[in-house]
Structure 1
């Protein structure tokens, strides 16, 4: 049994449609949907809370996972998930060309990525910051993870791709 899933999910400012094991949550910024592979019961005691329970004891292992997915979907359609990536280094930059993100990080050619559906990108005027917004936390996290692994941040040389809220200590070389 999940300790987290016992709590209520706040569903104010959203509308929920549940049919044939598919839950559709719509809000101000869009619609998210999730297919529940196991048998779960959704209960709405009032119009601002949602409670999820498994119908069978064998499905308790997925209870917390579905709780987290549904609560992230509710948060995403109401306030959107945001992340900011910073590229540090001489000549390193981000560029957006239609639905393609071009990353110049010191390789012989620019690396291009197709921006997934539901992910909104914008760049700063100096092309060193990439602002990402999405209603789906999983798509946003996967895209950021892929970009950060292109050139991991090196605190000694102070180059690479890092997140804005990520704390990387600045290390100083010891001189002898």
Structure 2
């Protein structure tokens, strides 16, 4: 049995959890999230504690136990507190601006890069080089951050690119001169 799957999920007071055999819907202060769950996953609720269990002990189904417990826990945390990621633009002339529903990035290309911002994500640009992303959906937030980062991966020689906050780039030595 999964060690992570056995852990209980504590539900805050301002979060509402509803489920049936195939879907779970979680509503909170920052939004509503829903996901499909397999029929082999069972959910029990006692007051403000949610427990995820397996209905059968088949080997291939046991791996889903911890996964769905973590997904449900991330949904509860997201609708009650929100997730936040910070990206830092590091390079000469790199900057970002939010215009309407688009994030416009100047990353050293001959043209500005325009990225559409998905609905549940809020974007804030601080001092032109720091991008703060907030959302209740952890999966969508990470995917959006990686799509932005894909425009300029950090490179090991000068350390330029789009970095996550507190990310350390291992620098390489350049060519050794004569």
User: TM-score, length-normalised on structure 2?
Assistant: 0.89
Q: What does residue 130 of structure 1 align with? A: 131
Q: Which runs of 5+ in 1 are unaligned?
A: none
Counterpart-to-counterpart distance in 2, 1:102 and 1:37: 40
C-alpha contact (below 8 Å) 2:133/2:141 kept by paired residues: yes
Alpha-carbon displacement from aligned partner over 1:35-84 (angstroms, at most 9, x marks no partner): 11333211112x22110112122332211111110000011011100011
Q: Which runs of 5+ in 2 are unaligned?
A: none
Q: What does residue 40 of structure 1 align with? A: 41
Q: What does residue 3 of structure 1 align with? A: 3
RMSD of aligned residue pairs (Cα, Å):
1.7
Secondary structure at the counterpart of residue 57 of structure 1: coil
Counterpart-to-counterpart distance in 1, 2:165 and 2:176: 30
Counterpart-to-counterpart distance in 1, 2:96 and 2:123: 11
C-alpha contact (below 8 Å) 1:121/1:131 kept by paired residues: yes
Report whether the alignment pairs 1:50 with 2:50. yes
How far residue 85 of structure 1 moved from its aligned partner, in angstroms, is: 0.4
Q: What does residue 30 of structure 1 align with? A: 31
Alpha-carbon displacement from aligned partner over 1:125-163 (angstroms, at most 9, x marks no partner): x31010100000000101111111211112431311001
- 4+ residue segments displaced more than 3 Å: 169-176
Q: How many residues align?
A: 174
Alpha-carbon spacing, 1:20–1:2, altered in 2? closer, same or farther (3 Å): closer
C-alpha contact (below 8 Å) 1:12/1:49 kept by paired residues: no
- In terms of mean alpha carbon deviation, does 165-174 or 153-162 score higher? 165-174
Counterpart-to-counterpart distance in 2, 1:85 and 1:156: 20
How far residue 165 of structure 1 moved from its aligned partner, in angstroms, is: 2.5
User: TM-score, length-normalised on structure 1?
Assistant: 0.90
How is 1:5-154 mapped onto 2 (pairs within 5 angstroms)? Answer: 5-13=5-13, 14-45=15-46, 47-58=47-58, 59-124=61-126, 126-154=127-155
